[in-house]
């Protein structure tokens, strides 16, 4: 339960900085985030609740494919990045000078960490039956030009999962399991129906990799959707002449999207660099085959905000909203009734915001804030509703409330 009268972050001294997209303006206005530096945001209390709710949805689905959660460091030694030749080739890699003439990498991705780490636990084929780990960790990218809003962040949160297998066949099976887990994640976050599963270019071990791309008017990507079979392709694999990888059709439609996840068959690229081998049934040495699977958690939050918002403000899916109910108290006399009701609601739902602000905060502003914040259910307790025997309940997307008896 969160009483706005005691909530520190409620008014703003200055007018909000206008952002280049509307969801960011709404998130600033609704006390969710603050940007001070291009490409790096501070998370205020309600935003942090949304983040944790999204993490929990993703965590449940990653656990459902038997992956184990770990947490790897942000700093990493230069030697590991030299082994994969990526110290000098990854242009967004932050290189951190340190005491004793040392230099560390500030990880933008964790293959260089996870491969030797998990290698320690792999000896024989028996260790490779279900070997996958994931983490929620901050990533850093030395972007030349960071943008406000959805893209090009210098610091952001990612869920990255890595899997380890005996051969490409085993990888294929697990890859499909994770793909289905991703579909479940985006469905639970209410963006599933407009999130495309698009072919993208692969590496030596796989012709294609795959992106999860959510349709958005302000999206930064162009996705080519086959007019005949509906298969999506990213722009990397569309050559001079478009040809659908599925049905070979030459007709397509371009859709604006934003990337929320990608899955990739790494093959033996990293096992090879770090000497990650296993002994098979015949006691021969083989290279471990790897896959990696990312979800851009911070960007996903923005995409959901942008995708769901309406003319009144933000709209959160019930699965991740910062609160299930927003109770507007009209007279202070009714605060006690509101607290009792909130406690009852919290036994069945999750968090309740009570707008018990006094002073110059009138009903109109409270009702606007309930909409702006995007809380799924709004309740009004006033002398008028009590006269009618209860309180008024209204869904965020409904125009009219109805009286519920207490």
Binding site for a copy of itself (CB under 8 A): 6-14, 34, 36-37, 40-45, 48, 51, 66, 68-77, 94-100, 104, 106, 113, 116-123, 126-127, 129-133, 138, 140, 142-145, 154-155, 359
Give 122 or 223: the residue with its C-beta nearer to a copy of itself. Answer: 122
Residues forming a β-bridge with 289: 165
Give CA–CA dist 41/60, Å, rounded: 26
Angle, helices 45-64/168-188, rounded to nearest 10 degrees: 140
- State in angstroms the smallest separation of the CB of 127 from a copy of itself: 7
C-beta closer to a copy of itself: residue 358 or 368: 358
What distance in Å separates the CA atoms of residue 328 and residue 353, rounded to the nearest whole number?
A: 9
Nearer to a copy of itself, 52 or 397 (CB): 52
Is the CB of residue 296 less than 8 Å from the CB of residue 186? no
Query: Considering the complex, what minimum distance in angstroms separates the CB of residue 336 from a copy of itself?
Result: 19
| Closest residue by Cα to residue 365 from 398, 328, 331 | 328
- Contact, 34 vs 133, CB < 8 A? no
- Residue 58 C-beta-side C-alpha neighbours within 13 Å: 25
Give min distance, CB of 330 to a copy of itself, in A.
20
d(CA 111, CA 160): 10
- Tell me the residue length of the chain: 406
Q: What is the DSSP string of 362-384?
A: -HHHHHHHHHHHT-SEEEEE-HH
Supply the minimum distance, in Å, between the C-beta of residue 203 and a copy of itself. 24
Q: Torsions phi, psi of 79, nearest 5?
A: -60, -40
Residue closer to a copy of itself by CB (options 56, 201) is: 56
Rounding to the nearest 10 degrees, give the CA dihedral for residues 90, 94, 99, 101: 30
- Minimum CB separation from a copy of itself for residue 153, in Å? 10
Nearest distance from C-beta of residue 155 to a copy of itself, angstroms: 5
Q: Where are the alpha helices (DSSP H) in 199-262?
A: none
In the complex, what is the shortest distance from the CB of residue 398 to a copy of itself, in angstroms, rounded to a whole number? 30
Min separation Cβ 86 and a copy of itself, Å: 17
Closer residue to a copy of itself in complex, CB, 19/187:
19
CB nearer to a copy of itself: give 9 or 229: 9
The rounded Cα 59 to chain-centroid distance in angstroms is: 11
CA distance linking residue 209 with residue 261, whole number of Å: 11
The residue (of 340 and 358) whose beta carbon lies closer to a copy of itself is 358
| CB closer to a copy of itself out of 146 and 403 | 146
């Amino acid at each position: 339960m969160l009483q706005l009268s005691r909530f520190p972050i409620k008014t703003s001294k200055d007018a909000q900085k206008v952002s280049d997209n509307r969801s960011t303006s709404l998130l600033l206005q609704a006390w969710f985030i603050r940007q001070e530096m291009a490409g790096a945001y501070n998370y205020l209390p309600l935003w942090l609740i949304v983040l944790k709710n999204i993490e929990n949805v993703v965590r449940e689905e990653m656990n459902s494919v038997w992956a184990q959660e770990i947490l790897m460091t942000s700093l990493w030694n230069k030697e590991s990045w030299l082994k994969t030749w990526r110290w000098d080739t990854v242009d967004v890699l932050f290189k951190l000078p340190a005491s004793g003439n040392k230099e560390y990498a500030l990880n933008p991705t964790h293959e260089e960490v996870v491969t030797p780490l998990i290698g320690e636990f792999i000896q024989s084929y028996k260790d490779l039956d279900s070997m996958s780990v994931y983490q929620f960790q901050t990533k850093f990218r030395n972007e030349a030009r960071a943008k406000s809003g959805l893209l090009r962040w210098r610091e952001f949160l990612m869920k990255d999962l890595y899997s380890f297998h005996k051969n490409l066949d085993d990888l294929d099976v697990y890859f499909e399991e994770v793909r289905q887990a991703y579909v479940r994640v985006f469905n639970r976050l209410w963006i599933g129906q407009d999130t495309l599963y698009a072919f993208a270019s692969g590496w030596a071990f796989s012709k294609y990799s795959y992106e999860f791309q959510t349709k958005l008017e302000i999206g930064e990507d162009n996705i080519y959707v086959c007019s005949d079979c509906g298969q999506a392709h990213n722009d990397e694999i569309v050559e001079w002449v478009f040809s659908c990888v599925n049905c070979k059709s030459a007709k397509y439609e371009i859709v604006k999207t934003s990337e929320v996840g990608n899955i990739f068959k790494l093959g033996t690229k990293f096992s090879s660099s770090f000497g990650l081998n296993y002994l098979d049934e015949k006691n021969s040495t083989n290279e471990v085959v790897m896959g990696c699977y990312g979800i851009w958690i911070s960007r996903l939050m923005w995409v959901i905000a942008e995708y769901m918002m309406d003319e009144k403000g933000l709209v959160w899916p019930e699965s991740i909203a910062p609160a299930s109910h927003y109770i507007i108290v009209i007279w202070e006399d009714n605060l006690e009734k509101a607290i009792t009701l909130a406690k009852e609601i919290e036994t069945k739902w999750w968090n309740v915001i009570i707008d018990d602000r006094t002073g110059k905060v009138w009903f109109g502003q409270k009702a606007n804030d309930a909409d702006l914040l995007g809380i799924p259910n709004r309740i009004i307790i006033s002398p008028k509703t009590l006269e009618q025997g209860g309180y008024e309940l209204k869904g965020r997307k409904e125009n009219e409330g109805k009286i519920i008896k207490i």
